[in-house]
Amino acid sequence: MEHQTALNLIAHGYAPNSWLNWAARVDDLERLCRSYSEENATSCWEEITHAALVKFNYEPEKIFDFCNSAQLEQGAEACKRHAIGIMASEKNYDLQLLKNICTVKQPPNDPEFESDCYGLLVSNKLYSIPPKDAKDTVFFCSSIKPEFRSTCFNYLGAALAAQTSSIEEIEEICSTAPTDFKFQCNRKSRQKTEVQTKK
């Protein structure tokens, strides 16, 4: 990542300021990623998204096509999923505005993309802003196609449990979730109930 974004390298005089022109460096970085194999390749493709998104002006179709050209399926998946988080930040976590990126057609070797995409949008928002300011995540998960809602609420519940210790706050946020998904949304309350039951 340091070689790709180069921020600390430049700050400490180990790389020239020209390295801040990420778009101009993508071709060299891509060659670097293609020279690796296995875990190193996957990690490289994950981090190249920072520069590639600048080059492709944050256009989902272009960045996903770029990611899908990776020599490893795992590299392509890591690249696309990291790009989702960066694009979410760039659009200020406006879930309704971001929703369409999840429907960009993907190759058959990534059948979980759309499902993961909705969940990642929600969890990235919850990890980036206070949960009390992200109540629209419940509406978002409720509004997507039925077959993707369970995964979305799983991501949502995990992020809420990690981001707040207040069961009351989670209960308030999850209160508007459909009955079928309250259990997944309010994971922390469920864990507390399980502990009490064991006692």
Summarize pLDDT for 48-87 with one digit per residue, the tens.
999 999 999 999 999 999 999 999 999 999 999 999 999 9
CA 162 to chain centre: 16
pLDDT band at residue 124 using 50, 70 and 90 as cut-offs: very high
Q: Is the pLDDT of residue 43 over 70?
A: yes
* Across 151-155, average pLDDT: 96
Residues in the chain: 199
Give me 17's structure tokens. Answer: 């300021």
Neighbours of 24 (CB within 10 A): 13
Rounded to whole angstroms, how far apart are CA atoms 132 and 96?
18
Contact 140, 95 (CB under 8 A): yes
Q: Are 101 and 118 in contact (CB under 8 A)?
A: no
3-state secondary structure (DSSP) of residue 135:
coil
Which secondary-structure segment (H or E) carries 182? helix 182-185
Distances (CA, A) of 165 to 50, 152, 159, 175: 32, 21, 11, 17
Q: How many Å apart are CA 183 and CA 124, to the nearest integer?
A: 21
Strand, coil or helix: what is 134? coil
Per-residue pLDDT band for 191 (boundaries 50, 70, 90) equals low
Confidence (pLDDT) at 155: 96
Rounded Cα gap, residues 83 and 43, in angstroms: 13
**Residue 165 confidence (pLDDT):** 75
For 51, list phi and psi in degrees, rounded to 5. Answer: -75, -40
Please report the pLDDT score of residue 21 as a whole number: 62
Query: How far is Cα 152 from Cα 78, in angstroms, rounded to an integer?
Result: 18
